[in-house]
Structure 1
């Protein structure tokens, strides 16, 4: 997540510069053919181009609205995880008998769940966009910790060696960590350390966490429909390709020398459309590890700080800081 006021125009131009190079070539070739080689028949009536541009604008607007909805839903889900985590903390602290060791086990295992979940959400999918050259290049400005630090190294801060070995042997580790929490609650109930209604209330929080996890997995594992994404891409580039052919005659009406303005104006208009397409593309997968992700690493650290503060620990971890205004 970009945590500044806005992206600078320099950042945006660097991010989209490869498109600008292509757009410049696409605008220059028909202009040279039209003006230098005097082949006027390549010009297309502007009305036809305007119709394609209108359709492209509708489609790109639809896509950007839907991808923003995916991003916002993901942020709402993680907000619910924050709330449920705090509820888990106060209920464990107040319901379970005064036993700091048990409190710590339940709190730390919850931090392990947060860790396992964010690692699972950062795993790449075939339809995600972080392997594209312009995204890889921009990734130099920030760090995705889940790609740098092995899961095993982080989990050892929260789990016993036996629990860590067990969890790492599982496919869906976050799911199994909640199952461990539930089993621990059952043991506490059977030993009389929590009452029936307390046991039910704590299990309800675990059920809520499963619900939040499932919603995250739905967004992660079901992409923005490929048919809509493909149609958007085709229409944008069809419009970009045809645009210079449509405005040649318009600038010709101003005089022969003005025909060369086709190049800069085609590049500018086309850049607006391709940039809107890129913005939608960079928003559609809110957990892929891009600069526009939901900051699940920072939010998980916030939860960990809150829970460990409830334990009255003194050496709390520092909040995750933005790196070059990018908060992960």
Structure 2
């Protein structure tokens, strides 16, 4: 996730990048061809105004849907943060009558679960992270399953059930928290596995590019040599809106515009290890070039 900060003109232009450069070259070509040739092609301005309005409304709806998708992903991770803290607190009460080793095992298992979920959503290998937190024999079994974080959570539930077999009240409380964790994971997987509708992902690209191609044709008669600047400036706004929506529609794509799940997973780990007095040298994820991962 890119954090707010001072924005420079160069950064804004580079954000759109290649499409803006191509538009600028196209505007120059159309302007020179129109003003330096005897053949004049008059393109009515009214259809361009109507098309600009339609494209702007379409991009606004699309970006609203993309932001809602991104924000839901962030909300689900917020729910996971809260449920993880609750789970760690309930584990302390569970282990109070059992052993500190049980408390430590369950907390470390949950840290492993959170990191495996992060990597699961980003389609990355979890084995390096899990080798530091889970027994080797369990990792061997996990390599056979399709959904690693769900398998870790199921095994944690089995351990809790075995320890609480004589205390149904504590079992119900912890099961409720684990259900919240499972529901949050299901919501994240739904977002990850459900592609953005084609009507919102593909068509806006086509309409915006067609509009930018036609834009200098509709402006050159009235603006003359200023068409290069007027058309590029207007096209930049539409290209920027298109890029914003494209960046936000996949919140777990492992790009700088993602929900910062690496930072959130590390924050959960720090909170849980603080409860065990085992945080040691673990630090929050640093900000890199104004980006929180």
Q: Please indicate the TM-score interval, normalised by the length of the shorter structure.
A: over 0.9
Distance 1:218 1:64, change over 3 A: same
Q: Find runs of 4+ consecutive structure 1 residues off by over 6 angstroms.
A: none
For 1:155-177, what per-residue CA distance to the aligned partner results, in whole angstroms no more than 9, with x for missing partners?
11211111122222211001101
What's the offset of the Cα at 1:207?
A: 1.2
Q: Indicate the RMSD between aligned Cα atoms, in angstroms.
A: 1.4
Q: Is the 8 A contact 1:309 1:316 kept in 2?
A: no
Shift of 1:317: 1.1
1:62-81 matches, within 5 Å, as 62-81=61-80
Is contact 1:27-1:244 (8 Å) kept?
Answer: yes
Q: Tell me the TM-score normalized by structure 2.
A: 0.95
Report deviation, 1:151.
2.1
Aligned positions, number: 292
Question: What is residue 292 of structure 2 aligned with on the other side?
Answer: 327
Alignment of 1:217 with 2:216, yes or no, is no
Query: Could you tell me which residue of structure 2 aligns to residue 168 of structure 1?
Result: 143
Query: How far is 1:52 from its partner?
Result: 0.6
1:301 counterpart residue number: 266
**Does residue 34 of the first structure (1) align with residue 34 of the second (2)?**
yes
**Given that residues 52 and 235 in structure 1 are in contact (C-alpha distance below 8 angstroms), is that contact kept between their aligned partners in structure 2?**
no
- State the secondary structure of the residue aligned to 1:108: helix
Q: Tell me the equivalent position of 1:89.
A: 88
Counterpart CA distance in 1 for 2:252 and 2:285 is 17
TM-superposed deviation, 1:98 = 4.6
The answer as to whether partners of 2:76 and 2:184 remain within 8 angstroms in 1 is yes
Deviations 1:275-317 (CA, angstroms, capped at 9, x unpaired): 1100110000001011111110110111111111111225151
| Counterpart contact for 1:49–1:246, Cα < 8 Å | yes
Match of 1:247 in 2: 219
- What is aligned with 1:121? 121
Any gaps of 5 or more consecutive residues in structure 1?
A: 124-145, 252-258
Distance of aligned partners of 1:199 and 1:233 in 2 relative to their CA distance in 1, 3 Å threshold: same
Preserved CA contact (<8 Å) 1:43 1:249: yes
Distance apart, 1:6 and its partner CA: 5.2
CA contact (8 A) 1:122 1:288 kept: yes
Query: Residue 168 of structure 2: which of 196, 209, 213 is its match?
Result: 196
Match for residue 130 of structure 2? 155
Q: Cα–Cα, structure 1 residues 168 and 71, in superposed 2: closer, same or farther, change >3 Å?
A: same
Cα 1:206–1:115 change in 2 (3 A) is same
In the aligned structure 1, how far is the partner of 2:148 from the partner of 2:232? 49
**Residue number in structure 1 paired with 2:198:** 226
